[in-house]
């Protein structure tokens, strides 16, 4: 019997028990009445409700499988996954998007899931997963699932091109030119309303996905951590580039070239403020440009945006860099040995994963069915029924093993350009060398320790701490567990290097 809404409803009723009390017992490998392999999948749901069967049936047809999804709401994924690991109530495929979770890492290292690294090159699509991606997704040098391949480095600067043109300014290529644009947007009435009611930058209370970390890249800040040739590990906030980025933000703040409440501004308010014409520079994900322009319709209809991804502090092309905290890894699609019993079954599931990475299946999971959910002109797809797409297609977006490198693309010109620039960013991405490594102190105290640095960074930018005060905060971080974290990361790094 096919696993559809009856079981989805049962899962909801079972609540935190998830699969342990409803269908969690595992039988021998099964096929359905048509002889298709049955593949169960414990997956994360990022939308309000699971998808209907429309697109799922097409995916099953192409992959010659019977897919049985068990959906976990994103808001409760950590609790539900911990429960499933503890009870052994898993599935053939388990979507793991919280790799820093101690229960998950312990399960991976304990051999609960198959190591798949030795098998990838047997499959045409899986073998294309890069060495950097494989390494970044590995635990202690071993790959325990298919990496969910996301964009490696998606950030850049979005600027009001119409404002640049009105004020006779070039598209900034250096941080100094970006500062000049911010000054002009603040002081020279770029919207022509006769009032000084605009700023250069509009930012939000986020030192990672807001402006700060991207600006830090332009000043040479490492991504999370740096490792010297002799294996010494240092945190990004002890770098010269980090201090330069703080000084840059401090200058913006002191001169009024950035919204003065940026430290407490939510992303929604930031985007709405930009769309309303309150500022002309937005730093964040380049694909946000499409949403910003849509928000501006009927409010700032003359808005013309340009995306910039090649800013440096020196003007030298060789210094181009952009941060990548997760190195493009969105998690793992892992295969528990309790469900996937032997190598033959593993290869069957890997074949299914390989099929999911085809252009045809990617298109189904991204845009849906041509003529039903979208229209196609050349390789450009336009969603024609947004509501139906949200119901039948959008929930699959988090299930894609790979999101990069396909020919079909969104027809919107801004999205096309942002995708091109994001792909170009990959060549200049600064990877986090500690991403796949483990520190017990980071797992236990990482958030608490990071708060020390986050608070000190904001206080420095806002003029409430001088450089010595910031450095004192760094020493507090070190004494409170940072030194121990560094020692653990150095040991983990050396252990992998010596394998």
Q: Is residue 273 within 8 Å of residue 136, measured between CB atoms?
A: no
Beta partners for residue 71, in sequence order: 43
Looking up tokens 């298919």, which residue turns up?
Answer: 146
Element (H, E) at 197: none
Tokens describing residue 107: 């399960």
Alpha helix ranges (H) inside 261-358: 267-275, 288-296, 343-356
pTM of the model: 0.83
Q: Which residues, including other chains, have CB under 8 Å from residue 269's CB and lie 6 or more apart?
A: 204
The pLDDT of residue 23 is above 50: no
**Residue 369 CB burial class (10 angstroms; 0-12, 13-18, ≥19):** middle
**pLDDT confidence of residue 29:** 58
Tell me the pLDDT of the chain averaged across its residues.
90
Position 33 scores a pLDDT of 77
Q: Report the pLDDT value the prediction gives residue 287, as an integer from 0 to 100.
A: 93
- Residue 270, exposed/middle/buried by CB under 10 A (0-12, 13-18, 19+)? buried
**What pLDDT band is residue 28 in, cutting at 50, 70 and 90?**
low
* pLDDT tens-digit map of 161-191: 999 999 999 999 999 999 999 999 999 999 9
* CA gyration radius, the chain: 24
Q: What is the DSSP string of 72-116?
A: EEGGGHHHHHHHHHHHT---SEEEE--TT-HHHHHHHHTTSB---
pLDDT at 8: 36
Report which of 419, 363, 410, 406 is spatially closest to residue 382, judged by C-alpha positions. 410
CA 232 to chain centre: 27
Instruction: Average the pLDDT over 479-494 and give the result.
Output: 95
Distance of alpha carbon 169 from alpha carbon 143, whole angstroms: 49
Instruction: Say which range, 80-84, 158-162, 312-316, 415-419, has the weakest mean pLDDT.
Output: 80-84
**Alpha helix segments (H runs only) across 228-371:** 240-254, 267-275, 288-296, 343-356, 359-366
Under a CB-based contact definition with an 8 Å cutoff, are residues 139 and 124 in contact? no
Q: CA angle at residue 326 from 430 to 93, to 5 degrees? A: 145
CA distances for 178 relative to 181, 208, 229, angstroms: 5, 19, 34
For residue range 36-87, list pLDDT tens digits in order.
999 999 999 888 889 989 999 999 999 999 999 999 888 888 888 888 888 8
448: confidence class by pLDDT, cuts 50, 70, 90:
very high
Whether residue 296 contacts residue 271, with contact meaning beta carbons closer than 8 Å, is answered with: no
Residue 6 pLDDT exceeds 80: no
pLDDT for 17: 33
Q: Which two tokens stand for residue 17?
A: 């028990």
Are 170 and 177 in contact by the 8 Å Cβ rule? The answer is yes
Tell me which residue has tokens 């605009």: 198
Query: With contact defined as beta carbons under 8 Å apart, do 452 and 476 qualify?
Result: yes
* Tens digit of each residue's pLDDT (9 = 90 or more) over 111-163: 999 999 999 999 999 999 999 899 999 988 899 999 999 999 999 999 999 99
State pLDDT tens for residues 353-401: 999 999 999 999 999 999 999 999 999 999 999 999 999 999 998 889 9
Residue 425 CA to residue 155 CA, distance in Å, equals: 8
- Joined together, the tokens standing for residue 67 give 């897919």
- pLDDT of 141 reads 84
Q: What sign has the CA pseudo-torsion 339, 437, 156, 210?
A: positive
């Amino acid at each position: 019997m096919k696993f559809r809404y009856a079981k989805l409803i049962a899962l909801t009723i079972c609540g935190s028990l998830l699969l342990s009390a409803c269908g969690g017992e595992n039988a021998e490998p099964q096929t359905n009445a048509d002889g298709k392999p049955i593949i169960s999948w414990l997956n994360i749901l990022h939308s309000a409700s699971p998808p209907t069967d429309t697109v799922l049936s097409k995916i099953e047809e192409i992959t010659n499988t019977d897919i049985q999804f068990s959906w976990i709401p994103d808001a409760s994924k950590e609790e539900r996954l911990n429960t499933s690991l503890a009870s052994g109530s898993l599935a053939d495929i388990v979507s793991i998007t919280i790799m820093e979770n101690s229960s998950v890492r312990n399960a991976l290292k304990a051999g609960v899931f198959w190591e798949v690294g030795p098998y990838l090159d047997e499959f045409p699509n899986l073998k294309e997963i890069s060495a950097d991606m494989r390494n970044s997704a590995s635990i202690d040098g071993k790959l325990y699932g298919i990496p969910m391949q996301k964009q490696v480095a998606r950030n850049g600067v979005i600027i009001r091109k119409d404002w640049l043109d009105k004020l006779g300014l070039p598209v900034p290529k250096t941080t100094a030119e970006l500062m000049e644009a911010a000054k002009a947007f603040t002081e020279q009435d770029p919207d022509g309303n006769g009032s000084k009611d605009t700023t250069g930058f509009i930012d939000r209370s986020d030192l990672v996905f807001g402006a700060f970390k991207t600006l830090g890249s332009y000043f040479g800040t490492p991504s999370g951590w740096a490792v010297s040739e002799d294996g010494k590990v240092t945190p990004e906030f002890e770098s010269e580039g980090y201090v330069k980025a703080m000084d840059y933000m401090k200058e913006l703040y002191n001169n009024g070239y950035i919204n003065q409440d940026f430290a407490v501004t939510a992303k929604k308010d930031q985007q709405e403020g930009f769309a309303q014409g309150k500022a002309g520079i937005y730093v964040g994900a380049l694909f946000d440009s499409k949403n910003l322009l849509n928000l501006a319709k009927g409010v700032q209809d003359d808005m013309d945006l340009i995306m910039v991804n090649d800013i440096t502090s020196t003007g030298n092309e060789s210094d181009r860099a952009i941060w990548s905290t997760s190195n493009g890894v969105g998690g793992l699609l892992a295969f528990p040995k309790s469900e996937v019993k032997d190598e033959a079954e593993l290869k069957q599931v890997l074949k299914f994963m390989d099929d999911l990475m085809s252009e045809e299946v990617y298109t189904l999971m991204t845009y849906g069915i041509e003529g039903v959910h979208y229209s196609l002109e050349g390789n450009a797809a336009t969603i024609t029924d947004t509501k139906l797409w949200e119901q039948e297609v959008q929930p699959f977006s988090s299930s894609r093993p790979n999101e990069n490198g396909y020919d079909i693309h969104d027809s919107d010109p801004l999205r096309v350009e942002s995708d091109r620039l994001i792909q170009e960013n990959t060549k200049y991405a600064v990877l986090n060398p500690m991403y796949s490594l483990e520190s017990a102190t980071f797992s236990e105290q990482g958030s608490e320790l990071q708060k020390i640095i986050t608070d000190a960074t904001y206080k420095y930018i806002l003029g409430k701490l001088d450089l010595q005060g910031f450095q004192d905060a760094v020493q507090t971080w070190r004494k409170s567990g940072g030194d121990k974290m560094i020692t653990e990361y150095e040991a983990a790094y050396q252990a992998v290097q010596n394998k």
